[in-house]
Structure 1
Amino acid sequence: MPEPVTLRPRGGMIIAAIALVIAAAALVFIAIDGGLLDLARWAWPVVLLGWGAWLLYLRPYVRVSEGFVEISNLVRTYRVPWGDIDSVDSRFALTIRTRGGRVIRAWAAPAPGARQALSTQRADVTHTPGDDDTRRPSDAEGTASGDAAGLVRRELERHRREGTAAVGQTALTWHPLLIAGTTALAAAAVVSLVLPHG
Structure 2
Amino acid sequence: MALLPIIVAPDPRLNKKAKPVAEVDARVRKLMGDMLETMYLAPGIGLAAPQVGVLERVIVLDLAHEGEEPRPLRMANPELLWVSDEDAVYNEGCLSVPEHYADVTRPAKIKVRYLDENNKEVELEAEGLLATCIQHEMDHLDGILFIDHLTALKRNIILRKLLKAKKAAPQPARDHAL
Both proteins in one fold, TM over 0.5: no
Q: Say which structure is richer in helix.
A: 1
Q: Report the TM-score, using the length of structure 2 for normalisation.
A: 0.25
Q: Report the TM-score, using the length of structure 1 for normalisation.
A: 0.23
Larger radius of gyration: 1
Q: Say which structure is richer in strand.
A: 2
